[in-house]
Structures are given as C-alpha cells and as structure tokens.
Amino acid sequence: MQFLVSRFNPERDDKPRQQSFEVETWRGMMLRDALLEIKRQDESFTFRHSCGEGVCGSDGVNVNGTNRLACITPVSELNAPVEVRPFPGRPIIRDLVVDMSQFYNQYRAVEPWLVRKDPMPEQEILQSPEEREKLDGLYECIMCGCCSTACPSFWWNPEKFHGPQALLTAWRFLADSRDQAEEERLDALEGPYKLFRCHTIMNCVEVCPKGLNPTKAIGHIKQLMLKNAI
C-alpha cells in the first residue's frame, strides 16, 4: 500500500513536501503501525505516538484530509495512496510533529479545575447520579487536538478563539454541580472572540475520535449565558 507522508526538516527545508513509501499491510493493521514501518524504512521520519490504543491522544494526524488518531485508524478503511499530513493550521516542528502551544494556552485559559468558594468539607463533595450524568460526553476528552485543528474559526483566530476542545472543557466545569464559579467562567467567555467565533461548522463533531460533541457543549454555554443575562 502506498503512503504519501509529509516531510519537513526546519534546518533544511523551506516548505513541507510529500514523500512516498510502500508499506506491506496486514489484517488489523492500524495507521500507527504503518507509520512505525515507515520509520523502520527511514529512521529520520518523525511523529508523536505513545499508548497505541486511543487513550493518550498523542498521534493525531491528518489522514486523507481528515484529522484522526493514527493508532485507532485501520489502514483497511483508507484509500491508497494514503496522504498523511500534520494537523492543519499549526506550526510544523518536524515532519508530522506540530507546535500545540496555542491549543494548550486556550485550554489553560478556561481554568480547567473545580473552583470552590465554600470552605472545603471534611469529606468528598458528593454528587447525585443525575448530577454526575451531566459530565458524560465531556470528561472523556483526551486533548488530542483533532477537533480544534479541524476548526476554521480556530485556524483564523487561534490566539483569541478558545476552540472546541477548550470550550468543551469550559462546559465540563460549568456543568459540574461541585463547581462554584459559574458567573466568573461565563464573564471570562464574553466578547466576540473566545466563545462567539464558533459558527457551528461542526468539523469538531465530525472528527472527534472519542465521539464527543463540542458544538453541543458550546450551545449549552450560549444558552446558559442567555439565561443568566435576561
């Protein structure tokens, strides 16, 4: 099977180029296995990966135009030649490795931790099963970055728009019955950029390898904002 992978060495190249590799596939082979095979053929080839089972979120790449996790993408699903590129819109460090700093900065900006104003209780803060259920579809995010780097609004304004990943996280804490900073969180999202650059394009929903729905979370935030405003 033919693979066209993106190569870029900042010390040598002005711009990325596609290099062709021939890889023998086997039943159940994942794209990550193919990339490892390519690395055996050319050890200068560079990409991120770790757990190999869709949990760590390290090996997000753009495959035939779609952001996916290489480790849980069967090569049998892909049409040859398979074009593997780094995430779109991010500065390339080398080959498939990109600089995700802006993505992490946006995550940090939504204060992804529980804020408690009451004195901390002696025991853990309990949640009812219904309260806990509200976090389903939110807490599972592995921060692979597939969604935010597929989002046109994040491409145009990565320094100002939080992007789907950070906004999903923002809603995860707004929806948490144990959090007590609702007003502050909503105030921090006001203005035309951080939240409202989302135009419900829904690329994020389409690419999320965990099947999460950032667009829905963003809709919930807007609704809550409106509810608190009138």
Q: Between 172 and 197, whose beta carbon lies closer to another protein?
A: 197
Query: Using the rule CB under 8 A, is 191 a contact of another protein?
Result: yes
Residue 226 C-beta: closest distance to another protein, Å:
6
Size of the site for another protein (CB under 8 A): 17
Query: If binding is defined by CB under 8 A, does position 153 make contact with another protein?
Result: yes
- DSSP letter string over the chain? -EEEEEE--TTT-SS-EEEEEE----TT-BHHHHHHHHHHH-TT------SSSSSS---EEEETTEEEEGGG-BGGGSPSSEEEEPPTTSPEEETTEE--HHHHHHHHHT--S----SPPPSSPPP--HHHHHTTTTTTT-----TTGGG-HHHHH-TTTS-HHHHHHHHHHHHT-TT---HHHHHHHT-STTTTTT-----HHHHH-TT---HHHHHHHHHHHHHHHH-
CB of 197 to another protein, least distance (A): 7
Which of these ranges, 36-44, 53-61, 89-97, 218-226, lies near another protein under the rule CB under 8 A? 218-226
Question: Site for another protein (CB under 8 A): which residue of 48, 185, 194, 220?
Answer: 194
Segment 26 to 85, residues that bind another protein, using CB under 8 A: none
Query: Does 157 engage in binding with another protein (CB under 8 A)?
Result: yes
List residues binding another protein (CB under 8 A): 153, 156-157, 189-197, 199, 222, 225-226, 229
